[in-house]
Amino acid sequence: MSMMDKLWDAFSTVIKMNDKVIAQAVAMTAQQAKIEDLTARVIRLETALEIALSARGAGGTKRLPRHARDGRTAS
């Protein structure tokens, strides 16, 4: 194989790799948009859940007395 053949093969390999990199970048951009959309949807669902729970009266956090939370018993 001559030197020109080796150079041509190397250049064609680089061009093929560049096409694959561009295709992957496009796919990654599309996936990022889907992830951002899903994140926004989850935030909206969390907000709706919090509103629904607070409307039911279950929005307040139920806390144990301090001595029970610390693991100590009342004397």
Q: How far apart are CA 56 and CA 13, in angstroms?
A: 64
pTM above 0.85, yes or no: no
Cα 21 to Cα 3, 17, 18, 26, 31: the distances in Å are 27, 6, 5, 9, 15
Number of H helices, E strands in the chain: 2, 0
Over residues 14-73, the pLDDT tens digits come to 999 999 999 999 999 999 999 999 999 999 999 999 998 888 876 455 555 666 555 555
Q: Taking a C-beta distance cutoff of 8 angstroms, is the pair 63, 69 a contact?
A: yes
Structural domain boundaries of the chain? Answer: 12-37
